A and B are shown apart, each in its own frame.
Chain A
Amino acid sequence: MNWQAVLSIYRYEMNRTFRTLAQSIVSPVLSTVLYFVVFGTAIGQRIDTVDGIPYGAFIVPGLVMLTLLQQSVTNASFGIYFPKFIGTIYELLSAPISFIEIVIGYVGAAATKALMIAAIILITSTFFVDLTIAHPVFMIMFLVLTSVSFALMGFIIGIWAGNFEQLQLIPLLVITPLVFLGGAFYSITMLPPGWQAVSLFNPVVYLISGFRWSFFGLADVPVGLSILAISVFLAACLTAIWWIFRSGWRIKP
Chain B
Amino acid sequence: MAAIISIQDLAKTYEGGFEALKGVSLEIEEGEILALLGPNGAGKTTLISIICGLVSPSSGSVSVGGHDILHAYRAAREMIGLVPQEITIEPFEKVINTVRFSRGLFGKRRDDAHIEKVLRALSLWDKRDSRNRELSGGMKRRVLIAKALSHEPRVLFLDEPTAGVDVTLRREMWELVRQLRAEGVTIILTTHYIEEAEEMADRIGVIDHGRLLLVEEKAKLLHQLGRKELVLELTEPLPELPSPLEGFELQRSEDGMRLVYEFDAHAESTGMTRLLGAVAEAKLSLKDLTTQQSSLEDVFLTLVEEGRTGK
Question: Do A and B bind?
Answer: yes
Residues in A lying within 8 Å of B, measured CB to CB: 2, 4-5, 7-9, 11-12, 15-16, 19, 82-83, 86-88, 90-98, 248, 252-253
| Contact residue among B56, B75, B80, B147 (Cβ-Cβ distance under 8 Å from A248) | B56
On chain A, the residues within 8 Å of B86 by CB distance are 87
Q: How far is the CA of A92 from the CA of B109 in the complex (A)?
A: 17
* Shortest distance between the CB of A136 and any CB in chain B (Å): 35
Cross-chain contact of A86 among B73, B89, B107 (Cβ < 8 A): B89
Q: In the bound complex, do residue B88 and residue A86 qualify as a contact, i.e. CB atoms below 8 Å apart?
A: yes
Q: Chain A residue with minimal CB distance to B91?
A: A86
Given that A15-B97, A253-B15 are contacting pairs, would A8 and B104 also be in contact in the complex, using a CB cutoff of 8 Å? Answer: yes
Q: How far is the CB of A42 from chain B (nearest CB, A)?
A: 40
**The residue from A2, A97, A252 contacting B55, defined by CB atoms under 8 A apart:** A252
B39-93 contacts to A, CB under 8 A, are 52-56, 73-78, 80, 82, 84, 86, 88-93
**C-alpha gap A87/B55 in the complex (Å):** 14
Q: Which of B75, B90, B103 has the most CB of A within 10 A?
A: B90
Chain B: which residue is nearest A105 at the CB level? B105
A4 in contact with B104 (CB, 8 Å): yes
Q: Is the CB of A19 within 8 A of B92?
A: yes
Q: List 20 A-B contacts (CB under 8 A).
A: A2-B107, A5-B104, A5-B105, A5-B106, A15-B93, A15-B97, A16-B92, A19-B92, A82-B90, A83-B90, A86-B88, A88-B89, A90-B88, A91-B102, A94-B77, A95-B105, A95-B106, A97-B74, A252-B54, A253-B15
Q: Kindly state the separation between the CA atoms of A96 and B53 in the bound complex, as whole angstroms.
A: 9
B105 touches A93 (CB 8 A): no
- Residues of chain A with a CB closer than 8 A to B104's CB: 4-5, 7-9, 11
User: B188-220 vs A: 1/0 string, CB under 8 Å?
Assistant: 000000000000000000000000000000000
A92 to B101: give the CA distance in the assembly, Å: 11
A244 CB, min distance to chain B CBs, angstroms:
14
Contact of A253 among B55, B82, B109, B147 (CB under 8 A): B55
Q: How far is the CB of B75 from chain A (nearest CB, A)?
A: 7
A91's partner among B78, B105, B107, B109 (CB-CB below 8 A) is: B105
Query: Inter-chain contact count A-B, CB under 8 Å?
Result: 81
Least distance between B130 CB and chain A CB atoms (Å): 15
- Residues of B near A93 (CB, < 8 A) are 52-54
Name the 7 nearest CB pairs between A and B, nearest first. A8-B104, A87-B88, A96-B74, A95-B105, A96-B77, A94-B52, A2-B107
Per DSSP, chain A at the interface is: helix
State how many angstroms separate the Cβ of B204 from the closest Cβ of chain A.
25
B248 within 8 A of A: no
List A contacts of B97 (CB < 8 A): 12, 15
- A19 to B106 Cα, complex, angstroms: 24
Complex-state Cα separation, A9 to B97, whole angstroms: 11
Is B108 at the interface (CB under 8 A from chain A)? yes
B100 neighbours in A (Cβ, 8 Å): 8
Q: How far is the CA of A19 from the CA of B78 in the complex (A)?
A: 30
B74 CB, nearest partner CB in chain A, Å:
4
What's the minimum C-beta distance from A65 to chain B, rounded to whole angstroms?
Answer: 30
| Cross-chain contact A94 with B82 (CB below 8 angstroms) | yes
Separation in Å of the B62 CB from the closest CB of chain A?
13
- With A248-B56, A252-B55, A252-B56 given, is the CB distance from A92 to B105 under 8 Å? yes
CB distance from B182 to the nearest CB of A (A): 25
Q: Contacts A86-B88, A90-B54 known; list 14 others, CB within 8 Å.
A: A2-B74, A4-B104, A8-B104, A11-B101, A15-B97, A19-B92, A86-B90, A88-B90, A92-B105, A96-B74, A96-B78, A96-B107, A98-B74, A253-B15
Whether the pair A4, B102 counts as a contact (CB closer than 8 A) is: no
Most buried by A among B54, B82, B103, B147: B54
In the complex, what distance in Å separates the CA atom of A253 from the CA atom of B56?
Answer: 6
- Give CA–CA (A90, B90) in the complex, Å: 12
Across the interface, which residues of A come within 8 angstroms of B53, CB to CB? 93-94
Q: Which residues of A contact B101 (CB under 8 A)?
A: 8, 11-12
List the B side residues contacting A82 at CB < 8 Å.
Answer: 90
Give the interface centre of A96, A248, A252 by most chain B CB atoms within 10 Å: A96
Q: A19-B92, A87-B86 are in contact. Are A9 and B55 (CB under 8 A)?
A: no
Who on chain A is nearest to B105 by CB?
A95
Closest B-chain residue to A98, C-beta based?
B74
Chain B contacts for A12, CB-based, 8 A: 93, 97, 101
Of B73, B101, B103, most buried by chain A (CB within 10 Å of CB) is: B101
With contacts A15-B97, A96-B75 taken as known, whether A91 is within 8 angstroms of B147 at the C-beta atoms is yes
CB distance from B20 to the nearest CB of A (A): 10
The residues of B that contact A96 with a CB separation of less than 8 Å are: 73-78, 106-107
By a CB distance below 8 angstroms, the chain B residues around A2 are 74, 107
CA distance A16 to B240 in the complex (A): 76
Binary per-residue interface labels of chain B (100-123) against chain A in the complex, 1 for a CB within 8 Å, 0 otherwise? 111111111100000000000000
A18 to chain B, nearest CB (A): 12
